[in-house]
Structure 1
Amino acid sequence: MKINNFSLVLGLAFFLIVKSTFAQLSIVPQPQSLKLLSGTFIFSASTTISANTDGIFSIAIQELNLLKKDRLKGTPNKISFIKRTDLKPEAYSLRIDPTQITIAANDQSGAFWAVETLKQLAATNAFKTKNTWILPASEINDRPKFSWRGVHLDVSRHFFDIDYLHRFIDRLAFYKFNKFHWHLTDDQGWRIEIKKYPELTAKGAWRKLNNQDSACLKLAITNPDYNIPEKHFKMIDGEKMYGGFYTQEQIKELVSYAAGKGIEIIPEIDMPGHMQAATRLFPWLTSTGSVQKEKNFTDPICPCKETTFEFAENIFKEIAQLFPSKYIHLGADEVEKSSWKNIPECEALMKRENLKNIDEIQSYFVKRMEKYFHSLGKELIGWDEILDGGISPTATLMYWRTWVPTAPKHAAEKGNPIIMTPGEYCYFDAQQDGHSLQKVYSFNPVGFGLNESEQQYVLGGQANIWTEYIPSEQRLEYMLFPRMLAMSEVLWGHQQDFETFSRKMDRQFAVLDAMRINYRFTDLKGFAENNVFLKSAYLHIEAPKNAVVHYTTDGSVPKISAPKYTKPIYIDKTQTIRAVIFGANGRMGDVFTANYVQTGYVDAVSLKNPKPGLNFSYYPKFYKAVNLISEADKTKTATTAAIEIPVEDKAGSFATRHQGYFYAAEDGIYSFFLRSDDGSVLKIQNKTLVDNDGMHFAIEKSAQIALKKGYHPFELLFLEGGGGYTLQLEYSVGTSKRKAVSASDFVVE
């Protein structure tokens, strides 16, 4: 069943080498250094492969031999591997001359990454001639900055079969990721066979459709990527059930396959919380012997019973035998610890172990499991909640809660290794907009308040994919690509500026097309969602290079038969225009909507004594919508220069209000772009202009208004529901470039 996905790329891609510049070579992640030489190397079935030592080059040579399949014979030439002890882990030196390619490395990984670089050169810069491949002569010296370059996949909420995971592994390797964090269990399904407890997969791997499935099916009415694959259903006791699991033999085979692609698989069995797939079957695992939902999360297993540890140790004994990785991820996140209160066994444990609170019960569980992991020759990883109640000095912390900004520093001060996965940058289940790719590219794994000595504890980072609303392979790829390429550059560590990366992406998109990956197209730009015009206007659609855009002017969703956008669209009446990018094989991208309304200028107001600033109000309470904000909850007022939140100790959930006057420096049509996580609403002249309300990830909404020169009443309402926030407001006038609002734009009276 092995499929060499790169052969598919070679079979479909057709590229010409044009100008030989570093950016146009389009290697992702960006190498540490590259120098172009004269000439080309022809890779064919006649190319011989040799190594000056056995062992460390085996998987690299195996990968090259896969590429030679189906190639025709050509002029004899060679690829040579040499061991160089001066090179650091995962480093390589690659020289391409017209008659020979020389690859130097000191370990297996370095040699393999060199071959992946050759594959990228072939896919993005070579051209096909009678089943041979021509590579530009060049010299590359390269090594990663971070040793942990991971991608996490949750297969519990929605299941992905073993065949797809092979393709998933291939794609990670192609972009030089070396860790696959496999989230195998959660409330919604148990996905790994455990011989000791066969019920976990016989029953725990299957469920009736839940509220997340229903949400996906509703979205599938207009977007087929949300359809739940029929292959994951089966009849059990006369009922149609959704799910699936991996046998231990399948797991062993995938672990071996991944190792042959330079990737280590780290299993996660989430405990003590997120365990309802098990506690439904074994309710004695909980503190009360019942399975119910508490305040925020499902009942966890009880760390105060010896039967709990017997159960956990039996499971992890089998896990340790299946996965050669030195790590096991315990999870230990989002635990409903209140279920341990007023439980006799827990009170006895606290007295016996001198535990002060239920946080320390959680810590007791984590430390005891870590001790057991050590007996198996394994090391423990946990989400950053393992800091609560105290952390052992040998545990590895995975940081995700951006609303706990001190967590990385606290871990580093204790000497704990850290893997950075902050939700703001790394949660790829977050919906995408035109800023998402750049946001990922701006991720700095050694930031977050760490000084130079503390940064040494950062192993690297990873992208996390939670699949509550990702039911299919197509939807998974849409959420993962192209953000995964930006994360690849960040974690390899030699990225340049985002503009350079964006230029390289033109060729990478062609590679993704060749691999038949359902990636998200770049946004269409040049308009707001709600636009205005005075007498007439032109809609200029800014599209990615070589994109094919089709549009409609009657508000209907464009099909590939709709008119193709080739020149600006003339607007002289109120109407709705919709536009879509169509890619390879007619694949349809997101629908972009531009509403146009004819309007006149809005008059400015007169102010007697304008002063710089905005009036700020703070409400430390959770609200679902801005119209629920109550003045009775206000605890702080201030005057801010612009859009700032001058509160040092912010509540976990809060709302804010900025109020004053926006100064329009000239008559014109003003476009406002409001991006927030969570909700926000912008009002101009006491009327809602941009409605970005509700609980959601960071998304942008926009609208236009025609303003006369002068002062205009301004109000910005914002909600933070918990989990870290984003609040950004930009604007443009006419055809000028967007810019962030600043102190010069606002006054109060």
Structure 2
Amino acid sequence: MQIKPIIFIVGLSLLMAGIGQSQTPDPYPIIPYPTSLVPGQGQFVITQNTALVVQDGRFQSEAGQLQQLLKPVLGKPLPARGGNAQIVLNYDPSITSPEGYQLTIAPQRITLAAREPVGMFRAIQTIRQLLPVSLEQKKTTGPLTLPAVQIRDQPAYAWRGMHLDVSRHFFSMDYLHKFVDLLALYKFNKFHLHLTDDQGWRLEIKAYPKLTSEGAWRTFNNQDSVVLKRATTNPDFDLPKQYLRQKDGKTQYGGFYTQNQMRELIAYAAARHIEIIPEIDMPGHLTAAIKAYPFLSCTGQEGWGKTFSVPICPCNEPTYTFTETVLSEVAALFPSQYIHIGADEVEKSTWAQSTACQALMKREGIKSVEELQSYFVHRTEKFLLSKGKKLMVWDDALEGGLAPSATVMYWRSWVTDAPVKAVRNGNPVVMTPVNTLYFDVLPDKNSLANVYQFNPVPTGLTPAEATSILGAQANTWTEYIPSENRVDYMVMPRMTALAERLWTNQNQYDTYRQRLTRHYPRLDALGVHYRVPDLSGFAEENVFTDQTALRIRKPTDNLVVRYTIDGSLPKAASALLPESLPISQPTTVKLAAFTNSGLQGDVYTLRYQQQSLAEPVGVSSVGAGLMSTYVKGQFKNVAAMLKAPASDSVVVNQVKVPEMAGAGSFGVRFRGYISVPATGIYSFFLVADDGGVLHIANRTVIDNDGNHGPIEKSGQVALKRGTHPFALDFIEAGGGYTLKLLYSRDGSDPQPVPADWLGH
């Protein structure tokens, strides 16, 4: 017989079927959505005769950028006067927010009003998003029309940032310009550029030329080996040839930016009202610098300690000569009010063993190596303040003490009280939690919702204290992101969700997804290799009792799905997947979506196995809820956790990380029964950060084991109606705390599994 599947989902499933397929296109597909938008009647058509009238000289630069946007399509600049149709740029001192603006589009006139040039620039980006995609292609394919509308707009948060690590892998100056353009399009205002780390020093420092002649280059490391292996099936993981060189018979990877190159990028970003914040990581993460200048470490050499790389030595005066000289050049180069020094993940064992550090600690009354790091940070901040700069650090720097004048970036999700402590210490805070806003974590179908629903204000703050939360940013660390295409894939479209959360700060997720489908063609035109939207309607590990059929749901009409059943990867020339693919024997199906522009989506591997219906077990008495057993320790996999002694147990009525799990790393064992109300094929989708393994009816349903980000895996099991053994094992390696359980039946929206289904 053919069993109709009933679907359980562990995690948040985004059922995007139908979006953009049978709905009237939104005439205002703006991201981030404006604070207030009132639709109008009619449209404004921009022609060569439309006048661009600038009524206040402070907006000349922004008017010039609007001209640059329109000229390739119109063929010439708009005249400054005349004509019946006009675009008028007005100064309006009543607008309170520096980035605020008002935009009125009527059939004969467009009025842009702002108090500051930055507000006028944001208004122009809104116009850009309302114009046809042909604008980005710089060719005329029809009239440049704008729908009538009245918009009043301003951002909810002052800090709306994106971060890019150019140290682990290097990216061209052209790509950094492209990155800035995307930030501008989506109204970001901060670009955090991580310029130095163990793996490479990327900025020219004239006083220390070996930082780039030697520190900017490396032989292949373990991260390069990983990406090169992945490149055999995905060219986006290949190391760009222009960043390879031969020296002393060895292949080296690297590159750096000259100060003149960086100065030009800074000016380019500033014209788009984006502040570039440089990060020179210290006192840790400086292997590249120590290799070039060994005197910087306490031991006179680079190396690796118990957890992290050997840092520079805060107890020797030549260290401060170096850091202050470097930071002087950085301060002179970057007009940003901030300089980020990291101060995170510092391996302090060499400090504890150093006689110079012991002498300094005795002389200064320093009681611990944590306080010694604080000594370094305080001294560095005092120097930066003398240069007119503000110190910025990761939240690790709170340990040992931090001055209230420093700005803290919170990233350690497992240290839940860190942002509250920082605020109450007087520090402004930018939220960048690893469990949501680390864009180097592999995206999946839950990622957009997770980012969009992120609340920048942590729990525990009063409304008055919440004003110290400046905003948020997403961080993209590039250990395993070697190419510009891969950066695009990792950040897009997630950064659009963050843009709307930080600017609009309203929950309009359903309309956001609809508007997002209108942005993919624009991103295509801009050459952005974004992550293709997810397909849905299937599991990875599938079972059938007699036969079944594969039916997938597409989020947009502009996708075609191709598949193979011979083990090969689907290509653009592979067979088209039919609406319903019958399956009656063990089969492995590989499928991928392709866009009209030629982008390929993720490859899905779906395995099908025949399975008999599991018989329910006879149990005389079942108590409510599952038994949740907490296990302290650091575990690489579930098997290791199962061997460890239990710390505590509690009965829970849902699968989630228990409140008693307060350590940075731990495991949880859930045991009991699940009583299913009908015979069928049950599908489960398990989202766990880090690992999880699910057994039902003593069958392995999902193996999502290991230390990793919030990856979703799915599987099925054939069950008869009744009660079946349930076991779920979860490990947390630190920082994620992601474990969710939802279910859906017959394609309905996901919802929590009823508590009365679970017993022990």
TM-score where L is the length of structure 1 = 0.94
Deviation at 1:264, TM superposition (A): 0.7
Q: CA deviation at 1:496?
A: 3.1
Deviation at 1:413, TM superposition (A): 1.0
The 5 A counterparts of 1:477-496 are: 477-496=488-507
Task: Determine which of 50, 54, 57 is the counterpart of 2:57.
Answer: 54
Q: 1:12 maps to which residue? A: none
Shift of 1:570: 1.7
Amino acid in the other structure paired with 1:83 = Y
Instruction: Establish whether residue 395 from structure 1 lines up as the match of residue 403 from structure 2.
Output: no
Matches within 5 A, 1:156-305: 156-305=167-316
Matches within 5 A, 1:288-327: 288-327=299-338
Conserved? CA contact 1:34–1:139, under 8 Å: yes
Per-residue CA deviations over 1:457-512 (Å, capped at 9, x if unaligned) read 01111110000000000101000100010011011134433221111111011111
Partner of residue 600, structure 1: 612
Structure 2 counterpart of 1:443, one-letter code: F
Q: 1:613 aligns with which of 621, 625, 643?
A: 625
Superposed, 1:669-708 pairs within 5 Å as 669-708=681-720
- Corresponding residue to 2:102 among 93, 100, 105: 93
Equivalent residue number for residue 415 of structure 1: 426
> For residues 642 and 541 of structure 1, what CA distance do their matches in structure 2 show?
29
- Report if aligned partners of 1:72, 1:132 keep a CA contact under 8 Å in 2: no
Q: Distance in 1 between matches of 2:38 and 2:134?
A: 15
Shift of 1:693: 0.2
**Deviation readout 1:681-734 (Å, 9 max, x if unpaired):** 001122321000001000111111111111101110011111232112334445
Contact (CA 8 Å) 1:670, 1:732: kept in 2 or not? no
Provide the rounded CA distance (Å) in 2 between the counterparts of 1:151 and 1:205: 23
Q: Which residue pairs with 2:437 in the alignment?
A: 426
Q: In structure 2, give the amino acid aligned to 1:562.
A: S
Match of 1:587 among 599, 618, 625: 599
Is the CA contact (8 Å cut-off) linking 1:555 and 1:575 kept in structure 2? no
Alignment of 1:446-595 (within 5 A): 446-546=457-557, 547-595=559-607
Show the counterpart of 1:63.
Answer: 65
Rounded to whole Å, the distance in 1 between the matches of 2:316 and 2:352 is 14
Aligned length: 730
Structure-1 separation of matches of 2:486 and 2:331: 32
The 2-side partners of 1:642 and 1:403 are apart by 21
Distance, in Å, in 1 between the alignment partners of 2:84 and 2:227 is: 54
Partner secondary structure for residue 126 of structure 2: helix
2:91 maps to 1:79: no
Cα distance in structure 1, aligned partners of 2:447 and 2:169:
24
Q: Could you tell me which amino acid in structure 2 is paired with residue 49 of structure 1?
A: L
d(CA) in 2 for partners of 1:379 and 1:607? 65
Structure 1's unaligned 5+ residue stretches are: 1-15
Equivalent residue, structure 2, for 1:3: none
Q: Compare 219-228 and 550-559 and name the one that shifted more.
A: 550-559
Does structure 1 retain, via aligned residues, the 8 Å contact 2:69–2:135? no
How far, CA to CA, are the matches of 2:24 and 2:588 in structure 1?
44
Cα distance in 1 for partners of 2:657, 2:741 equals: 13
C-alpha displacement of 1:625 = 1.1
Contact 1:684/1:712, CA 8 A, preserved across alignment: yes
Supply the AA of the counterpart residue of 1:42. V
Root-mean-square deviation (CA), in Å?
1.9
Aligned counterparts of 2:353 and 2:591: Cα–Cα separation in 1: 59
Comparing 399-408 and 354-363, the one that deviates more: 354-363
Letter paired with 2:424: E
Higher relative contact order (CA 8 A, sep 6+): 2
Higher mean displacement: 80-89 or 391-400: 80-89
Per-residue Cα deviation, 1:545-604 (whole angstroms, up to 9, x for no partner): 112111223443222222223412122222122211111333221111222222221100
Q: 1:24 to 1:686 in 2, by over 3 A?
A: farther
Q: Using the TM superposition, give the Cα deviation of residue 124 of structure 1 relative to its aligned residue in structure 2, in angstroms.
A: 5.7
Q: 2:657 touches 2:737 (CA, 8 Å); kept in 1?
A: no
Q: Which amino acid aligns with 1:89?
A: P
Between the aligned partners of 1:733 and 1:705, the Cα distance in structure 2 is: 14
Aligned ranges 1:655-666 → 2 under 5 Å: 655-666=667-678
Q: Name stretches of at least 5 consecutive residues in structure 2 with no aligned partner.
A: 1-19
The CA deviation at 1:737 is 4.5
The one-letter amino acid paired with 2:291 is R
Secondary structure in structure 2 of the residue aligned to 1:711: strand
Aligned counterpart in structure 2 of residue 351 of structure 1, from 342, 346, 362: 362
Per-residue deviation, residues 630-651 of structure 1 (Å, max 9, x unmatched): 4552111222222244343622
1:103–1:734 Cα change, 3 Å? closer
Quick check: 2:628–2:650 contact (8 Å CA) kept in 1? yes
**Structure 1 counterpart SS, 2:441:** coil
Give me the identity figure in percent: 47
> What displacement does 1:276 show?
0.4
Q: Is 1:639 matched with 2:647? A: no
Does the residue aligned with 1:491 lie in a helix, a strand or coil?
helix
For 1:145, what is the secondary structure of its paired residue? coil
Q: Residues of 2 paired with 1:20 and 1:682: CA distance?
A: 42
CA distance in 2, matches of 1:671, 1:216: 33
- Is the alpha carbon distance of 1:360 and 1:742 closer, same or farther for their aligned partners in structure 2, counting shifts above 3 Å? farther
Q: 1:29·1:495 contact (CA, 8 Å) conserved in 2?
A: no
What letter matches 1:271 in structure 2?
M
**Inter-partner Cα distance in structure 2 for 1:567 and 1:557:** 20
- SS at structure 2 position matched to 1:416: coil
**Any conservation in 1 of the 2:88–2:110 contact (CA below 8 Å)?**
yes
Q: Which residue of 2 aligns with 1:121?
A: 130
CA gap of 1:686–1:513, structure 2 versus 1, over 3 A, is same
Q: Would the aligned equivalents of 2:419 and 2:458 in 1 still touch at CA under 8 Å?
A: no
Which of 366, 377, 381 is equivalent to 1:370? Answer: 381
Q: Which whole-Å CA distance do the structure 2 matches of 1:126 and 1:524 have between them?
A: 30
Stretch of structure 1 that moved more, 149-158 or 618-627: 618-627
* Distance change (3 Å), C-alpha of 1:493 and 1:355: farther
Distance (Å, rounded) in 1 between the aligned partners of 2:605 and 2:754: 29
Contact 1:670 1:734 survives alignment (8 Å): no
Q: Say whether the 8 Å CA contact 1:683–1:714 is kept in structure 2.
A: yes
2:91 alignment partner AA: K
Could you tell me which amino acid in structure 2 is paired with residue 77 of structure 1?
A
Identify if the C-alpha distance between structure 1 residues 559 and 645 changes in structure 2 by more than 3 Å, giving closer, same or farther. closer
- Pairing partner for 1:141 from 133, 152, 159: 152
Q: Deviations over 1:13-72 (max 9, x none)?
A: xxx9x9887x542100110011121221122333322222222x1331121110232314
CA contact (8 A) 1:408 1:448 kept: no
TM-score w.r.t. structure 2 length?
Answer: 0.93
Match status 1:39 vs 2:51 = no
Query: Partner of 2:267: helix, strand, or coil?
Result: helix
